[in-house]
Structure 1
């Protein structure tokens, strides 16, 4: 079994206050298609979901967790050209995609952290 040491949860959105406001306006006011399925899972209309924070805290008991926007990625991840959103697991020797962009798209109607948690834990155990 693969032993992961770090997980990177990567949003298909840019970080920074201006970009967060722009994303929120495009999604909630202008109703533009700003598909970031991980954003929809981790955040409600205004704030981060408490269930999401609990999930991340649970993972942090055993792993290093990085929750990043696409403009905040370390070079080692950018070089791999993953499609976002995704979850990348890091072992001592490699980066491996644990949840792909396609899998997040299959969560089209998913806004339930519990379902993501169950599927995620099933993949890494």
Structure 2
């Protein structure tokens, strides 16, 4: 069975928030709070290398912003950015914020995801939406 991965950015959705994020990444990238965004997106769009990587994964993918995580799954207080696995309406923390924030390049992030997929490991103590 294909895994269902939910990537959650440490940013809110909406046009105003997107414009604010772009400005923040341009003028003060060292204090930008979403390393998942910083690694996978340029100033205006998804990086081609990241898009190709995602298309190569044998997994179902969902992408949410912080506010959408709460409205879609009722999850609040999770440290973000993060990647969850989803089974039904239950999210299981799969890659922690500290692990994503520890990546300084897209290659490191891709390796983290591929290694985790290969091992099939998850963190069952971190279930949300039960």
TM-score band, normalised by shorter chain: 0.7 to 0.9
Deviation at 1:20, TM superposition (A): 0.5
Q: 1:93 to 1:69 in 2, by over 3 A?
A: closer
Question: 1:1-125 maps to which residues of 2 (within 5 A)?
Answer: 5-29=3-27, 31=28, 33-59=31-57, 62-73=58-69, 74-76=71-73, 78=75, 81-91=77-87, 94-107=90-103, 110-112=104-106, 114-125=107-118
Shift of residue 115 of structure 1?
2.3
User: Number of residues paired by the alignment?
Assistant: 116
RMSD: 2.2
Cα 1:93/1:39, change in 2 over 3 Å: closer
The 8 Å contact of residues 25 and 38 in structure 2, kept in 1 or not, is answered as no
What is the TM-score when the length of structure 1 is the normalising length? 0.78
Superposition misfits of 4+ residues, deviation over 3 angstroms: 91-94
> Structure 1: any 5+ residue segments left out of the alignment?
none
TM-score, reference length from structure 2: 0.76
**SS of residue paired to 2:12:** coil
Structure 2: unaligned runs, 5 residues or longer: 119-130
| Structure with more relative contact order (C-alpha pairs < 8 Å, separation 6 or more) | 1
